[in-house]
């Protein structure tokens, strides 16, 4: 039976321009869109969803106030088929807000996500649906592959979730999931799990997906893990979010705020004491070490000051990190680099910058040899 859109509170900050005429969707796929008309990105995405082999699938396109032809493109596809809903946000609210509006409007028993610059194989959602219904799981995860702008495969098989998490999820499996999980769009979820006010994405910020996914993973009792073929094409290209957000100071602050949410959510949900070692390790990796690595290649004028304050912040959040058992299991060289990066952040930053410069010089020399 289709779920009503009244299960969560929905602000009136959007307009429904086209409503799907599908009467009883089984799966709802939410596509947040912002300026993806270029290079046939959005068209490839929507065509891959229209070509899905599962019939009872609704596509909910939420345009986050694009200033290119994305909205018009989504509407043109919606005129050709019966299973596309097109929503237009009144102003740009970031991807989490767009996803939340899609969740509120969804009617399927299961909910999945596809980013507007990615695509899926024709059997993607039928395979995910078969797996989640056969197993009775709360969520299913499948492999994905990295492709470039022209669909050339960069990395053919990628999945972080191990097979040990296939089946009932207890404390040990959830510890593994905290450390080794896959992106939200690699999953299909029961709508009843995520279609709740306390399970929505943070709004008006970047990096909203990780704290949200962890909240969902705390709530699952069973998971299905698919092996074999990759069904999702995750596109890597020069202007993608991954490569550009480091240029924005606001994005850096969003990254830290999102990381803090991971710990704060765990504490408020009573999960922190159970998964403290795993959460601390994961928090330090994404909040600090990965951020320092990103800033090494950045030209932000405030990078050194930001890293200095960030080091102080993460030490306050996780004062015993160097005693963490997961840190202790890392290879000696990795432990040494991380210790220096944490205790002597500016020296580590300068050393990384010098090494990057050296590598660029060597690469340039080889290219001209």
Task: Tell me the per-residue pLDDT of 29-49, one tens digit each, with 9 for 90 and over.
Answer: 999 999 999 999 999 999 999
pLDDT of 176 reads 97
Residue that has been written with the tokens 């089984």 in this structure: 26
Q: Which single residue is written with the structure tokens 């043109």?
A: 76
Contact in structure between 18 and 75 (CB atoms under 8 Å)? yes
CA end-to-end distance (rounded Å), the chain: 66
Domain locations in the chain as residue ranges: 5-237, 242-363
Other CB atoms within 10 Å distance of the CB of residue 268: 12
With CA atoms as reference, report the closest residue to 176 among 163, 158, 187, 157.
163
CA angle 187, 281, 244 (to 5 degrees): 60
Given a contact cutoff of 8 angstroms between Cβ atoms, the answer to whether 327 and 335 are in contact is yes
CATH superfamily of 5-237: Spore Coat Polysaccharide Biosynthesis Protein SpsA; Chain A (3.90.550.10)
Give, as one character, the DSSP assignment of residue 191.
H
Q: Across the beta sheet with 232-235, what order do the strands follow?
A: 119-120, 232-235, 144-147, 153-158
Which DSSP letter does residue 33 get?
A: E
- What is the rounded distance in angstroms from the CA atom of residue 358 to the CA atom of residue 348? 15
Residue 8: what pLDDT? 75
Token representation of residue 208: 């909203």
Query: What contacts 211, CB < 8 A, 6 or more positions away?
Result: 202, 258, 261, 262, 265
What is the residue-wise DSSP string for 255-289? HHHHHHHHHHHHHHTT-TTTSHHHHHHHHIIIIII
Longest distance between any two alpha carbons in the chain, whole Å: 66
Region of residue 146 (left: phi > 0; alpha: psi -120 to 50; beta: else): beta
Helix axes 94-105, 209-219, angle to 10 degrees: 40
Q: How far, in Å, are 42, 155, 284 from residue 152 at the CA level?
A: 17, 9, 33
HSE at residue 315, side-chain half, CA atoms within 13 A, is 13
Cβ atoms of 50 and 77 within 8 Å: the answer is yes
Neighbouring-strand partners of residue 158: 144
Look up residue 302 and give its DSSP letter.
T
With contact defined as beta carbons under 8 Å apart, do 142 and 226 qualify? yes
CA triple 237-128-220, angle to 5 deg:
100
Please name which of 101, 112, 93, 113 lies closest in space to residue 9, comparing C-alpha atoms: 101
Q: Which residues pair with 188 in a beta bridge?
A: 112, 140
Mean pLDDT, each 10-residue run in order, the chain (369 residues): 52 93 96 96 98 96 97 97 97 96 96 97 97 98 95 92 97 97 97 93 94 96 95 80 55 93 96 97 96 81 86 96 97 96 93 78 69
pLDDT at residue 355 in the model: 81
Determine if residue 72 is left, alpha or beta; phi over 0 gives left, psi from -120 to 50 gives alpha, anything else beta. Answer: alpha
Segment (H or E) for 87: strand 84-89
221-241 burial, b at 16+ Cβ within 10 Å, e below that, comes to ebbbbbeeebbbbbbeeeeee
Cα 316 to Cα 234: distance, rounded to the nearest angstrom: 35
């Amino acid at each position: 039976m289709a779920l009503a859109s009244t299960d969560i509170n929905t602000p009136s900050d959007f307009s429904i321009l086209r409503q799907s005429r599908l009467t009883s969707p089984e799966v709802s796929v939410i596509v947040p869109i912002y300026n993806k008309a270029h290079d046939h990105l959005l068209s490839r995405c929507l065509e891959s969803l229209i070509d899905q082999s599962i019939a009872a699938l609704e596509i909910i396109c939420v345009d986050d106030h694009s200033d290119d032809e994305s909205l018009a493109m989504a509407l043109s596809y919606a005129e050709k088929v019966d299973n596309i809903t097109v929503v237009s946000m009144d102003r740009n609210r970031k991807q989490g807000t767009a996803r939340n509006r899609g969740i509120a409007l969804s009617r399927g028993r299961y909910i999945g996500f596809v980013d507007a610059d990615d695509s899926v194989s024709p059997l993607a959602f039928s395979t995910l649906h078969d797996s989640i219904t056969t197993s009775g799981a709360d969520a299913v995860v499948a492999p994905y592959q990295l492709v470039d702008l022209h669909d050339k495969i960069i990395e053919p098989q990628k999945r972080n979730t191990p097979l040990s998490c296939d089946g009932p999820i207890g404390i040990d499996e959830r510890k593994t999931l905290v450390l080794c999980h896959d992106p939200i769009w690699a999953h299909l979820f029961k709508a009843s799990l995520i279609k709740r006010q306390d399970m929505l994405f943070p709004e008006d910020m970047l990096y909203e997906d990780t704290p949200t996914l962890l909240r969902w993973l705390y709530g699952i009792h069973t998971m299905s893990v698919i092996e074999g073929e990759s069904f999702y094409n995750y596109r890597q290209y020069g202007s993608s979010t991954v490569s550009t957000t480091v240029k924005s100071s606001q994005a850096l602050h969003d990254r830290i705020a999102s990381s803090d949410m991971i710990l704060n959510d765990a504490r408020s949900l009573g999960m922190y004491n159970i998964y403290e070692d795993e959460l601390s390790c994961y928090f330090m990796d994404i909040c600090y070490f990965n951020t320092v690595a990103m800033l090494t290649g950045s030209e932000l004028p405030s990078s050194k000051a930001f890293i200095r304050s960030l080091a102080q912040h993460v030490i306050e959040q996780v004062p015993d990190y160097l005693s963490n058992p997961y840190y202790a299991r890392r290879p000696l060289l990795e432990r040494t680099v991380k210790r220096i990066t944490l205790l002597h952040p500016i020296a580590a930053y300068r050393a990384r910058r010098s090494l990057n410069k050296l590598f660029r010089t060597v690469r340039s020399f080889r290219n001209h040899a």
